Amino acid sequence: MKNSHYFDDDQVDLKSKYEKPKQPNWLFRRIYILTWIRHYDREKAISDLIAGITLGLTIIPQSIAYAALAGRSSEYGLYTAFIGSIIYVFFGTIPQVSIGPTSLMSLMVLQYCYEKPIEIVIVLAFLAGCVELLMGIFQLGFIVSFIPSAVNKAFTTGTSIIVALCQIKNLLGVKLKGVPTPKAFFENIKVADATVGITCFVILLALRQLSSVKFKEESPATRRLKKLLWYISISRNALVVFTCGMIAYFWIQKSSFEAIPITLSSKVDSGIPTIKLPPFAFIHDNRTYVFSDICRELGSGILVVPIVAVLANVAIAKAFVKDGILDASQEMLTLGICNVAGSFFSAMPTCGAFTRSAVSQASGVRTPMAGIYTGIIVLSALSILTPYFQYIPKSSLSAVLIAAVIFMVDFKPLTELWKTNKKDFISWLGCVIVCLAAGVEMGLLYGIILNMIFVLLRLGKPKLEVNVKKSDNLIYVHIKPMSDIYYTGVELIRTEIKSACVLYRNDFPIVLDCSRFMLFDTTFLEMLNAVAKDLRENNVLLILQFFPDKHKEFLNGNSNIRFANDRTLSELIVKT
C-alpha cells in the first residue's frame, strides 16, 4: 500500500536530476537546533532579535492575563512563558510557533482545577507533558487528521466566545460568583472598573487598526512612519497594560491603596523561578494531598488537556510550516518537554498560541532562536517588574483578553458550509453549541464522533453493481462492489445477495466479485458463511471471484462455495 513515486520510461533522465533530499539523522531531527544552528548568521540574528523583543512585549501582558483567566496570580503565567520560549529554541521546528500560556490552556486549567491549590495545576502540567511525550514517542500525530476543518473552526470560535464571556464580568468589575441573573449583573457593575475596561478595550481596537493605515504617497518618511505605527500596533497590549499600571501607581502614591476605586491585580511573589521537583505531595488548608489524590482531582483532565494541547499545537504548526513536511511527532515531543520542564519551574500547562505565532510571523522571525530573546525579556520582567504587577487594573487585563479573542470568533462558516457541505455545516453548528453548553472538550469530542459516524454511514452504503450475466449459455447473477467494503457495508451486500435470490427464485448461481476489495475482516467472512448456509438450503451456488487464498480456510465448512478467477468461472458453473 506504499505510495509510489515513479517516472514514465522516457523520463529516466529526470531521475538523476531530482534526487530525494537526505533526511537528517535521528539526533539532529530530535534536537532540532543542530540542523539550523550551523547556518545561523548575523542577518538571521538581527531578525530574530527584533521578533523576539516584539514577542516579549506581547507575551508579558498576555501571560498575566491568561494567568488571571485560569484563576492564578501573574507570576505563574510568566514562568510558563519563560520556560516555553527557551525550550522551543532547542527542540522546535517552526520558527513562528510561540509556546506559553494560551487562552485554551487557561480554560482547561479553569475547568479541571477550579478553586484547587496551585500545586495541582503544576502536577497537571507535568502529567500532561508525560502524556505528550508518550504521544510523540508512539508517533500518534495522526490523531490530528481526525479533526475535520469544520470542527477545528467551530472549536476556535467556541473557545473564544467562552473566554470573552468569562472575562466580561472582570471587564465591568462585577464581583458575583457563577452565572448571575441579568438584573444582578447590571446592578453590580462598578463604574470605575467598567470605565477603565471599556476605555482599554476601545484603545486596543483602535491601535490594532494602526497597522493597516494607508498613506497616499510612499516616501522614506512614510515608510518609517508606517513601520513605527506597525510596531505600536503590535505592542498595544504592553502599552495599554503598562499605561494603566503607571496611572494606578502614581494615583496610589498620591493617596493610598484604599482610596483608589479600581480593582487591581493581587500581589505577586517577585523573583526568578527556581528549579524544584513538581509538588507530588503537599499540604494545603490542613489537608494532605498525595499523588493519588492529585490524580483523582484531575480526573479525565490528565488525558484531555494534553490531547487538546497537541491538537492546538499541531494545528498552529501546520498553518506556519513552509516547504517540506511538518514533523508532528517532534512537535509533540517538544511540547511534552516544555510541559515537563515547566512543571519543574512551577509553570502551568502550555501549548502554542495562534495569536502570538501570527505576531512572530509578522515580526519577521527567521529561526526559533527568537525565543531566547523573548525568554530573557520575560525573565527580566519577572526579576524587576513583579513588585509593580499589583498595580495593574484587572479590567485592563480583561480588555486585553477580550480584544485578542473576539477576532477569532468567526461566523462566516455558517453560510459558507451551508453552501459547500451540509454535514460540515451540522458539525460546525453542533460543535459551537456543545462547546458553549457543555465545555470545549465535549464540543471537540462531539465533532470528532459525529464525523466518524458520517464516514461510517457513507461506508455503510457502498456502491454495488448487480448484473445478470450470460456466458456460454449459462446465466448467473454477478454482484460487484465498486470500492473497498468496511464492516458497516457488509449488511448491504448480504441484503443484495438475498434480494437477488428472492427475485430470481434461486434459479441462478450468485457470483460475488471481490476484485476491488482490500480488507477482509471477520464481519465480512462471517456474513459469507451465513449467506452460504442460507443459499445451501435452496441449492444455490455462491462463487467468490478473486478471493484471496489466505482467507479460504475460514469458509471451509461450506459445500456450496466455489472460488474462481475470470478463466475458471464458466468452467465452475458448467460443472454444477
- What residues numbered 174-233 form the site for a second copy, per CB under 8 A? none
Span 21-40, contacts to a second copy by CB under 8 A: 21
Residue number, 48 or 424, with CB nearest to a second copy = 424
Beta-carbon contacts of 305 under 8 Å, excluding residues fewer than 6 positions away, are 105, 108, 112, 124, 128, 349
Using CB under 8 A as the binding rule, whether residue 487 contacts a second copy is answered as yes
Q: What one-character-per-residue DSSP string does 19-66 give?
A: PPPPPPPHHHHHSTHHHHGGG--HHHHHHHHHHHHHHHHHHHHHHHHH
CB 373 within 8 A of CB 53: yes
Out of 270, 488, 558, 570, name the contact with a second copy by CB under 8 A: 488
Strands 474-481 and 464-471: antiparallel
Using CB under 8 A as the binding rule, whether residue 573 contacts a second copy is answered as no
Q: Tell me the sheet residues that pair with 479.
A: 466, 512
Total residue length of the chain: 576
Find the shortest distance in angstroms from Cβ 145 to a second copy.
4
Residue number, 15 or 223, with CB nearest to a second copy = 15
Span 124-143, contacts to a second copy by CB under 8 A: 142
**CA-closest candidate to residue 105, choices 304, 241, 371, 402:** 304
- Total residues binding a second copy (CB under 8 A): 82
Q: Tell me the sheet residues that pair with 471.
A: 474
Using CB under 8 A as the binding rule, whether residue 461 contacts a second copy is answered as yes
**CA-closest candidate to residue 515, choices 548, 540, 489:** 548
Out of 270, 523, 558, 568, name the contact with a second copy by CB under 8 A: 523
Span 358-397, contacts to a second copy by CB under 8 A: none
Using CB under 8 A as the binding rule, whether residue 410 contacts a second copy is answered as no
Region binding a second copy by CB under 8 A among candidate stretches 115-123, 212-220, 337-345, 550-558? 550-558
Find the shortest distance in angstroms from Cβ 449 to a second copy.
8
Dist CA 172 CA 184 (whole Å): 13
CB 388 within 8 A of CB 133: no
CB 341 within 8 A of CB 79: no
Using CB under 8 A as the binding rule, whether residue 300 contacts a second copy is answered as no
- Three-state secondary structure call for residue 307: helix
Using CB under 8 A as the binding rule, whether residue 457 contacts a second copy is answered as yes
Using CB under 8 A as the binding rule, whether residue 418 contacts a second copy is answered as no
Region binding a second copy by CB under 8 A among candidate stretches 11-19, 119-127, 240-248, 305-313? 11-19
Q: How many CB atoms lie within 10 A of CB 448?
A: 18
Using CB under 8 A as the binding rule, whether residue 539 contacts a second copy is answered as no
Find the shortest distance in angstroms from Cβ 121 to a second copy.
29
CB 359 within 8 A of CB 55: yes
**CA-closest candidate to residue 61, choices 110, 100, 12:** 100
Find the shortest distance in angstroms from Cβ 12 to a second copy.
10
Span 66-105, contacts to a second copy by CB under 8 A: none
Using CB under 8 A as the binding rule, whether residue 420 contacts a second copy is answered as yes
Out of 48, 75, 424, 513, name the contact with a second copy by CB under 8 A: 424
Dist CA 197 CA 403 (whole Å): 11
Find the shortest distance in angstroms from Cβ 532 to a second copy.
15
Region binding a second copy by CB under 8 A among candidate stretches 181-189, 218-226, 346-354, 551-559? 551-559
Q: What one-character-per-residue DSSP string does 487-503 give?
A: HHHHHHHHHHHHHHHHH
Element housing 523 (H / E): helix 522-537
Region binding a second copy by CB under 8 A among candidate stretches 65-73, 218-226, 378-386, 413-421? 413-421
Here's the x/- map for a second copy, 320-359, by CB under 8 A: it reads as --xxxx----------------------------------
Out of 534, 546, 558, 563, name the contact with a second copy by CB under 8 A: 534
Out of 25, 266, 383, 483, name the contact with a second copy by CB under 8 A: 483
Out of 231, 251, 486, 546, name the contact with a second copy by CB under 8 A: 486
Out of 216, 470, 567, 575, name the contact with a second copy by CB under 8 A: 470
Dist CA 389 CA 270 (whole Å): 9
Residue number, 210 or 534, with CB nearest to a second copy = 534
The residue whose grid cell reads 477580550 is: 402
Q: Which three cell numbers stand for residue 253?
A: 502614591
CB 274 within 8 A of CB 382: no
CA distances from 440 to 45, 308, 405, 433, 449 (A): 39, 9, 15, 10, 14
CB 308 within 8 A of CB 108: yes
Span 140-159, contacts to a second copy by CB under 8 A: 142, 144-146, 148-150
CB 70 within 8 A of CB 401: no
Out of 243, 380, 467, 576, name the contact with a second copy by CB under 8 A: 467
Using CB under 8 A as the binding rule, whether residue 456 contacts a second copy is answered as yes
Residue number, 114 or 142, with CB nearest to a second copy = 142
Q: Which three cell numbers stand for residue 11?
A: 523520463
Find the shortest distance in angstroms from Cβ 552 to a second copy.
11
Find the shortest distance in angstroms from Cβ 551 to a second copy.
6
Span 489-518, contacts to a second copy by CB under 8 A: 489-492, 495-496, 498-505
Q: Tell me the sheet residues that pair with 112.
A: none
Using CB under 8 A as the binding rule, whether residue 552 contacts a second copy is answered as no
Region binding a second copy by CB under 8 A among candidate stretches 344-352, 369-377, 390-398, 419-427? 419-427
